[in-house]
Amino acid sequence: MERRNIGATALEAGAIGLGCMPMHWGYTASQQSGETALRTVHAALDAGTTLLDTADMYGPFTNELLVGRVLRERRSEAFVSTKCGLLVGDSHVVANGRPGYVKRACDASLRRLQTDVIDMYQLHRPDPEVPVEETWGAMAELVSAGKVRALGWCAIGARVRRRSRAGLYDATIRQLERVQQVFPVSCVQAELSVWSREALDALVPWCASRGVGLLAAMPLGNGFLSGTLTPGQGFEPQDLRARHPRFTAEMMAANQPIVAGLRRVALRHDATAAQVALAWVLAQGRHVIPVPGTKKPVWAVQNAAASRLRLTPEDLAEIAGLPRALGSWD
């Protein structure tokens, strides 16, 4: 698989990563057996994927433990990204950016992941009660201590947290510019896909101009762009899509032309709609790495194969002309 640098660092990873969250968080009540998840991570590594993206809150903790089982055998093949800063309660998630907590969280993640160093340590969400410079300074100390190689910023929740009519990532960029004064940001993780293109307006160019990598979360639109979901199929209450405005039966039906367009392009390349969606994300810049999440080995292998798909200018123009997705958080 093609490899890409992550920001201006000497670190690099396979051009398509593996989002491990769906194995233990956010999608189903029962999730899946540990052995199936284990096979999924191994299949991704076998297919050339190196970047494994997890977080301490996924489970919580069970996802890092699973990734740790793989790393115990294959640490040299993997680029490990995990996150801190969110605490999971019985029915809520709260931010914690206190320096002491950040350091304890890192030590706990290292133990669960069965590794001596975390390649990319991301702040999952800034704590509104703690100056972000203090949180970032504590994370920088982890780099100095040799526990972490680089720092990243997770902006996935920006859409939900926005309270003004300003650009979706305006506040995120202001925070990034603040923490850049403390220690370099190596990557930003944000939602980017054919049906969620807001990051292209300001965030993706900001990262490119400053040598910062962009980890594209949800590049398959929470599975919608794969074309495997049926309008009206319904989701379990614990599945995040059960509350997502774009996953009502009405909106899923209304957005089918997007999937149809991806399939038309896919036919020209003997590919799938999902692979075209991932190739489109790859085409947004050499600093962009899509991180599709999956729970099954077959999809991990298929996603990795998308790194070999090269879309033509005509393909990209056709995708650019697809209708914008209907259904919004705003």
What are the residue numbers of the active site?
58
Report the run of H or E that residue 187 belongs to, with start and end: strand 187-191
- State the Cα–Cα distance between residues 248 and 300, nearest whole angstrom: 26
The residue with tokens 């390349």 is 269
Angle at 87 between CA 83 and CA 91, to 5 degrees: 130
Burial of 152 (0-12, 13-18, 19+ CB in 10 A): buried
Preceding omega of 237 cis (within 30 degrees of 0): no
- Cβ burial 193-208 (10 Å sphere, 16+ → b, else e): bbbbbbbeeebbebbb
Q: CB 6: neighbour CB atoms within 10 A? A: 26
SS (H, E, C) 142-170: HHHCCCEEEEEEECCCHHHHCCCCCCCCH
Continuous H helices in 170-306: 170-180, 203-209, 249-254, 256-269, 273-282, 297-305
Helix (H, G, I), strand (E, B) or coil at 108: helix
What residues does 94 pair with on adjacent strands?
Answer: 87
CA 139 to chain centre: 20
- State the Cα–Cα distance between residues 23 and 54, nearest whole angstrom: 10
Burial of 17 (0-12, 13-18, 19+ CB in 10 A): buried
Structure tokens at 281: 């994300």
